[in-house]
Chains A and B, each alone.
Chain A
């Protein structure tokens, strides 16, 4: 058995300069390519570009929200094993305020194309009390406010502890977590309803917020797996992040994969069984016009095959296999969001007819653009402090964690 050193040297725990420069340049390169493709996509999308942008924006947002969820839950449960990987999630969640800026183009230019409830008389007066542009903006401000504040507060406890080593900061984070978790649950649910569900303003599903959350949990555990596998290649991390931590994260990834399927099926089953037109509208769009293939892809990709890939113990403990599973799930998380948003695309700005299944240049552009910015912000944050909260009172517990 390898016994971990009891204290870590903080100097070893920073992101090495060559790695930092490489990752930063890759992120900026992706953003630049994304910007070009976004321009091309926007020019030829006939007023449908903001659907592409919404998918790309929401994909990376769910990862950032998952990061906040991860940090919250570790403090909520006084988790010991996760100390060595928590800073990755803290850095990922630190991007949340910037998503408010990335949301501005949608508010400024995209509302009319995306949300039919902004058109005069499209929804009933009672629904318009909730679905109207000013209230929509106020709610978005509240969501970003809660997320930014919660992620900043938890991060600052942790970063201050690096300097002072004060264990009371851990207790403060634990005191902060329960209320913040409650607000997180509410804001994520309502953000999902506002930004995705209201694309079809006559349709509603009471489980929709949970569905968005389940996808976001899959996204963060996939991302964390990949980040850990990258860090494990650094010599200083050989005995810091181990296959035991990968196994823990892999189990969460597997668990939330099943959870996502459970929620997705719960939503589908009731609508299919009751067969009421106002509810079936959602699946009707996704079972015709080529979208039935995307639906099948999602069922097999995000659940059935993912379940079998992630099930064996070895696929959670072997870095290469876990990386495969994590990339697989991230790809299908994108397919999931694509499946939620893209079927609402029209043929062109003046058409009421929906476009058949297909991917647009703008989809790839927005994915790379927002992703490049997101990755740049994460890498910059990771560089700004130690990669491990090395004065956390539960550090040793985390270093010695076994499954």
Chain B
């Protein structure tokens, strides 16, 4: 098995840390060193991790806003078209363009598409669903959903250098530093 995987392209390095606090510090040090393509893995969300990793703002709000606008326009457009062009009917003595009556449908479609965008946009940005991932091949990675904390640095990172990165991680207190393959 070892010989098989060693022939494959390396995905990057996965290293374990003792606690949430040391993981946060590791992330700070990595981003200070100029690493950009790395990730942290922990059993629970850690406050301040976004800042430590210098992640910046998510694009999700823009996706949600755009889809909500689509929901708004289609809700208004559909009803305006049906009631004024395609099949005008007098309902409760109201005019054809009865905006107050349109509002509930407009509201629901705006919220619906906004919520879909939030959920599926999140999946998309996280590249989910994804049944397998190279970091899973680290010997102790199953502990990431239990009581262990990991950093993964991808080979794609411009600063990545198998030997130097490994040394640096060990310097900042990492254990079980392993190279994982695609």
Task: Give residues in A with beta carbon < 8 Å to B.
Answer: 1, 265, 268-269, 272-273, 275, 311-313, 402
Q: How far is the CB of A148 from chain B (nearest CB, A)?
A: 39
Give 14 CB contacts A-B under 8 Å: A268-B100, A269-B100, A272-B100, A273-B92, A273-B94, A273-B100, A275-B92, A275-B93, A311-B65, A312-B61, A313-B57, A313-B61, A402-B47, A402-B48
Q: B89 an interface residue at 8 Å Cβ cutoff?
A: no
Identify the 10 closest CB pairs spanning chains A and B, nearest first: A272-B100, A269-B100, A1-B51, A1-B48, A402-B47, A265-B103, A273-B92, A268-B100, A313-B61, A273-B101
Q: Which B residues lie within 8 Å of A268 (CB)?
A: 100
Task: Give residues in B with beta carbon < 8 Å to A.
Answer: 47-48, 51-52, 57, 61, 65, 92-94, 100-101, 103-104
Chain A interface, >50% SS class? helix
Q: Which B residues lie within 8 Å of A265 (CB)?
A: 100, 103
Q: How far is the CB of B111 from chain A (nearest CB, A)?
A: 11
Chain A's closest residue to B51 (CB) is: A1
Q: Which A residues lie within 8 Å of B47 (CB)?
A: 402
Chain A's closest residue to B94 (CB) is: A273
Q: Which A residues lie within 8 Å of B48 (CB)?
A: 1, 402
Chain A's closest residue to B65 (CB) is: A311
Q: How far is the CB of A274 from chain B (nearest CB, A)?
A: 9
Chain A's closest residue to B52 (CB) is: A1
Q: A265-B103, A275-B92 are in contact. List 4 more A-B contacts (CB 8 A).
A: A269-B104, A272-B100, A313-B61, A402-B48
> A312–B62 Cα gap in the complex (Å)?
10
Q: Which A residues lie within 8 Å of B100 (CB)?
A: 265, 268-269, 272-273
Chain A's closest residue to B91 (CB) is: A273
Chain B's closest residue to A262 (CB) is: B107
Q: Which B residues lie within 8 Å of A313 (CB)?
A: 57, 61
Q: How far is the CB of A247 from chain B (nearest CB, A)?
A: 13
